[in-house]
């Protein structure tokens, strides 16, 4: 027997108290999104390699857990020039690619404008570290079929409501637009074929700083003079500076006008214009956004418009936008009241017959108890009661045999 039996690196077990806490947070998220008109769906944990490696997932495509084709023989294994040639499936690395495939599969059964919720685990084969796991839960809402700005307004409004319901005060939402970023690259004279790579480097500003990004841009062939200074100026831009006269040369006025309209429609959301915001996924086409909190350097969620993705699956363009909450980061910040997490323990003596205990449990459940546990009385009753309270139970009854349900005295564990 191994002396150290643990889950695979980057994956976790959850004890009952942890699982209850996670489910309470998920229940709040589900209830708020449902109240805002979103319907929950479910997709398989694996998708076709054709979809997962379609070029839409950015660097995340490099982190797919691939699934080998069934029935491979030794000859096929030797003939393969790479491991990916042997895979026909992979674990999903996000919920957006599966949603696009889902919509292409079921479009005829869905409304013209479809508002979806997906809450499920995803997998990425990256280096595990604090706050970063190989298996983690994402909470996504998406609106498909709405070309107007109403989609972004609904997404940000619903997500803001979730954050408020979870008690996460002080959050802001950083917003930008891919058209603003492409205007920056054009202003710098970056060739179109380098745009995607350049945006991936700019997305690292918060990790490696202005000088680091400037060096990376030069290394891929971006030759704009004074690029470090220009990056710094880009990071200093605000709503006011972006509306100054004359406006910055890199600013796409149409895109910025849309962002101003978004701010006007959502005064409670505390939107902050951030022209350095990129979001690394290659499928974004317009507005992008991230949830920021003053106490943390990392975002608590993000999303944007990705009008081109579903057309890759369906052959017909469908407007789309989505917002994903970083559940694993949020769940550690949330403090929810446990008052509703109630339960009743039947603390019984050894002499009580199992058939009597089972009948008692059924009677208690049928009269409305949501959670009834049968537990034999321990020698250290005080310690036992403390452990039951920590497990979420709030009341108990002592059974010595022969009692009717209505005769039991219910006592508090608090």
What DSSP line would sit under 137-188, residue for residue?
A: EEEEEEEES--STHHHHHHHHHHHHHHHHTT-TT-EEEEEEHHHHHHHHHHT
Do 230 and 200 share a structural domain? yes
Q: What is the pLDDT of residues 64-77, one digit of tens each?
A: 888 877 776 666 66
Do 319 and 197 share a structural domain? yes
Do 277 and 193 share a structural domain? yes
Q: What is the pLDDT of residues 180-208, one digit of tens each?
A: 988 888 888 888 888 888 888 888 887 88
Do 357 and 245 share a structural domain? no
Question: What backbone torsions phi and psi does residue 244 show, to the nearest 5 degrees?
Answer: -65, 160
Question: What backbone torsions phi and psi does residue 289 show, to the nearest 5 degrees?
Answer: -155, 155
Residue at a domain's end among 289, 305, 331: 331
Do 158 and 23 share a structural domain? yes
Residue at a domain's end among 265, 296, 331: 331
What count of other Cβ atoms lies within 10 Å of the Cβ of residue 74?
Answer: 7
Do 314 and 194 share a structural domain? yes
Do 362 and 392 share a structural domain? yes
Do 145 and 38 share a structural domain? yes
Query: Exposure pattern of 21-52 as b/e (b: 16+ CB <10 Å)?
Result: bbebbeebbbebbeebebeebebeebbebebb
Q: What is the pLDDT of residues 108-126, one digit of tens each?
A: 999 999 999 999 999 998 8
Q: What is the pLDDT of residues 296-333, one digit of tens each?
A: 878 899 999 999 888 888 888 899 999 999 899 899 88
Given a cut of 90, is residue 146 above it in pLDDT? yes
Rounded Cα–Cα distance for residues 75 and 408 (Å): 71
Does the residue 249 lie in any domain? yes
Q: Averaged over 169-180, what is the pLDDT?
A: 92
Do 116 and 29 share a structural domain? yes
Does the residue 294 lie in any domain? yes
Question: What backbone torsions phi and psi does residue 29 show, to the nearest 5 degrees?
Answer: -60, -50
Bridge-based pairing state of the strands 114-123 and 135-144: antiparallel
Does the residue 75 lie in any domain? no
Rounded Cα–Cα distance for residues 347 and 405 (Å): 13
Do 281 and 134 share a structural domain? yes
Q: Averaged over 147-152, what is the pLDDT?
A: 96
Q: Averaged over 159-183, what is the pLDDT?
A: 92
Given a cut of 70, is residue 48 above it in pLDDT? yes
pLDDT at 56: 60
Q: How far is CA 377 from CA 252, 329, 347, 389, 405, in A?
A: 72, 39, 5, 15, 18
Does the residue 192 lie in any domain? yes
Count: domains in the chain: 2
Among 68-77, 94-103, 137-146, which stretch is predicted with the lowest mean pLDDT?
68-77
Q: Averaged over 409-414, what is the pLDDT?
A: 85
DSSP state of 248: P
Do 220 and 323 share a structural domain? yes
Residue at a domain's end among 331, 356, 372: 331
Does the residue 65 lie in any domain? no
Asked whether the beta carbons of 87 and 69 are under 8 A apart, the reply is yes
Q: Quote the mean pLDDT of the chain.
A: 87
Rounded Cα–Cα distance for residues 198 and 231 (Å): 12
Question: What backbone torsions phi and psi does residue 3 show, to the nearest 5 degrees?
Answer: -80, -20
Among 25-34, 45-54, 134-143, 393-402, which stretch is predicted with the lowest mean pLDDT?
45-54
Rounded Cα–Cα distance for residues 206 and 233 (Å): 15
Q: Residue 401 sits in which domain range?
A: 344-412
Nearest C-alpha neighbor of 149 from the set 229, 245, 62, 257: 257
pLDDT at 180: 92
């Amino acid at each position: 027997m191994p002396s150290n039996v643990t889950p695979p690196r980057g994956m976790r077990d959850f004890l009952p108290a942890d699982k209850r806490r996670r489910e309470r947070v998920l229940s709040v998220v589900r209830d708020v999104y449902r109240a805002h008109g979103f319907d929950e769906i479910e997709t398989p944990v694996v998708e076709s390699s054709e979809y997962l490696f379609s070029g839409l997932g950015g660097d995340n495509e490099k982190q797919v857990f691939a699934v080998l084709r069934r029935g491979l023989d030794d000859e096929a294994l030797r003939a393969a020039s790479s491991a990916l040639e042997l895979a026909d499936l992979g674990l999903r690395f996000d919920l957006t690619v599966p949603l696009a495939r889902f919509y292409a599969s079921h479009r005829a059964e869905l409304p013209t404008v479809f508002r979806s919720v997906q809450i499920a685990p995803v997998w990425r084969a990256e280096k595990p570290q604090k706050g970063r796991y190989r298996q983690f839960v994402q909470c996504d809402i998406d609106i498909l079929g709405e070309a107007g700005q109403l989609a972004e307004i609904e997404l940000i409004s619903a997500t803001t409501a979730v954050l408020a319901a979870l008690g996460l005060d002080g959050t802001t939402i950083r917003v930008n637009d891919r058209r603003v970023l492409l205007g920056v690259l054009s202003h710098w004279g970056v060739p179109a074929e380098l745009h995607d790579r350049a945006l991936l480097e700019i997305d690292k500003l918060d990790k490696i700083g202005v000088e680091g990004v400037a060096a990376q841009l030069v290394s891929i062939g971006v030759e704009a003079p004074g690029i470090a200074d220009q990056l710094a100026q880009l990071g200093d831009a605000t709503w006011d500076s972006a509306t100054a006269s004359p406006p910055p040369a890199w600013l796409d006025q149409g895109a910025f006008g849309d962002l101003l309209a978004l701010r006007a429609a959502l005064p409670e959301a505390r939107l902050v214009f951030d022209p350095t915001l990129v979001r690394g996924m290659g499928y974004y086409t317009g507005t992008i956004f991230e949830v920021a909190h003053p106490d943390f350097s990392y975002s608590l969620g993000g999303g944007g418009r990705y009008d081109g993705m579903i057309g890759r699956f369906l052959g017909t363009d469908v407007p789309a936008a989505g917002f994903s909450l970083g559940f694993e980061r949020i769940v550690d910040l949330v403090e929810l009241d446990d008052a509703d997490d109630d339960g009743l323990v039947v603390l019984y003596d050894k002499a009580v017959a199992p058939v009597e205990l089972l009948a008692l449990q059924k009677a208690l459940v049928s009269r409305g108890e949501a959670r009834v546990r049968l537990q034999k009385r321990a020698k250290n009753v005080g310690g036992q009661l403390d452990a039951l309270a920590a497990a979420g139970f709030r009341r108990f009854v002592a059974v010595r045999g022969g009692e009717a349900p209505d005769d039991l005295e219910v006592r508090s564990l608090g």
